[in-house]
Amino acid sequence: MQLSSVSIQRPVLTRVLNLAIVLFGLIAMESLGVRDFPAVDPPIVSVTTTYNGANPWRWP
């Protein structure tokens, strides 16, 4: 029997298996130590342009 045919015949079993996978994943994620997460600083992008001789546009 294939997984797709079992999933169609027994939708509750499929939902319980999916819930179990998600639950085990959440438990595993909570049990990870702090050292397993790298300290990453978000990148900061700064763009500066100059237009010599141009006036700034203002809203009327």
Strand segments (E) across 1-60 = none
Q: Is residue 21 part of a domain?
A: yes
pLDDT of residue 36: 66
Q: Is residue 22 part of a domain?
A: yes
> Per-residue pLDDT for 49 more than 70?
yes
Q: Is the pTM of this model over 0.75?
A: no
Q: Is residue 47 part of a domain?
A: no
Q: Would you place residue 45 in the very low, low, confident or very high pLDDT band (cuts 50, 70, 90)?
A: very high
Give 39-44 contacts, CB < 8 A, sequence gap 24+.
none
- Give the distance, in angstroms, between the CA of residue 45 and the centroid of all CA atoms in the same chain: 22
Q: Is residue 17 part of a domain?
A: yes
Total domains present in the chain: 1
